[in-house]
Amino acid sequence: MRAQRPYSKRMNVITVTNLTKRYDATLAVDGVSFDVAAGGTLGLLGGNGAGKTTTIAMLLGLLIPTAGEITILGHNMARDRFAALARMNFSSPYVSLPGRLSVRENLQVYGHLYSVRGIAARIAELARELDLEALLERPAGALSAGQKTRVALAKSLINRPDVLLLDEPTASLDPDTADLVRSWLERYRAETGCTILLASHNMAEVERLCSDVVMLKKGRIVDRGTPADLLERYGRDDLEQVFLDIARDRGIQEVAI
């Protein structure tokens, strides 16, 4: 792993301004703005249909926004997304890797797509760190859900990204493996200064990994802050209660009563 930060801590690596996505009559994302500082981890939280996946898809350039602007690593994603994409990566349990290819072949493919130098060594390094050595020659489609999640994480780290977008990174993992993955992500961020945007329904994970949280509901940001800020504001002991308060429209004052 690299030891240097790609940016100074004060710089915003991700800047999202007034991001909007409309599908005909449906407003999926409605004027969302946020920044993520270098080395920070932002948790994107919200119930189903809140706009998390749509926001991530726009950040990755898979989806063209109806309005608004996204800048990642200094590149405007509308005009210059490939320069940013080379230094980003992404993992989601909802997107698969080719199941008939072995784990090693899959990682080789993405090593080439991201122009990684020394692909074999990088694969060996990731296999060792994510406990994938025994799985390398197995077809990706024959793995258990938890193993697939670890392989997807390895794929997302193949290019040593400066920006990592993770959608449910520990979905389907048993508590022990999930904990290992979280520890690994914490270490990776500490050692590389990688900036992470994380969408998760696991509130314990968000509390542990995220420096900031954005709460989305019906495509709009309804609250934001550090996990500690949110707990204090809502008078709760854990983020899950805060999540439920927001999801069920229990406002701050109502909760306080």
Partner 1 sequence: MISAMRDSGERIWGLMFRHIALYRGSWPRLIELAYWPILQMCIWGFTANFLASRIGSTAAFAGGALLGGVLLWEVALRSQMGLSVSFLEEIWSRNLGHVFVSPLRPLEMVVALVAMSMLRMLAGLVPAIVLAWVLYAFNLFAIGPVLVLFFANLMIMGWAVALAVISLILRHGAGAEALAWSVLFGLTPFCAVFYPVSILPHGAREIAFIVPGSHVFEGMRTMMLEGVIDWGELGWAFGLNLIWLAGAAFIFRQQFQVARTRGALIAIGE
* Binding residues vs partner 1 (CB under 8 A): 23, 53-54, 57, 60-64, 82, 85-86, 88-90, 92, 94-102, 105, 108-115, 139, 155
Residue 90 C-beta: closest distance to partner 1, Å: 5
Residue 111 C-beta: closest distance to partner 1, Å: 7
Which residue matches tokens 């701050």? 252
CB 156 within 8 A of CB 170: no
Residue 183 C-beta: closest distance to partner 1, Å: 25
Residue 223 C-beta: closest distance to partner 1, Å: 26
CA atoms within 13 A on the CB side of 49: 4
Residue 95 C-beta: closest distance to partner 1, Å: 4
Closer residue to partner 1 in complex, CB, 99/251: 99
Q: How far apart are CA 228 and CA 211, in angstroms?
A: 9
Closer residue to partner 1 in complex, CB, 114/243: 114
Residue 63 C-beta: closest distance to partner 1, Å: 5
Closer residue to partner 1 in complex, CB, 95/190: 95
Token digits for 197?
A: 């945007």
Closer residue to partner 1 in complex, CB, 104/189: 104
Residue 57 C-beta: closest distance to partner 1, Å: 5
Closer residue to partner 1 in complex, CB, 2/112: 112
Closer residue to partner 1 in complex, CB, 107/246: 107
Q: How far apart are CA 162 and CA 251, in angstroms?
A: 37
Q: Which residues does 144 contact at the CB level (< 8 Å), separation at least 6? A: none
Report the Cα–Cα distance between both ends of the chain, in Å, rounded.
49
Question: What separation in angstroms does the CA of 19 have from each of 49, 185, 236, 237?
Answer: 16, 28, 30, 32
Closer residue to partner 1 in complex, CB, 147/243: 147
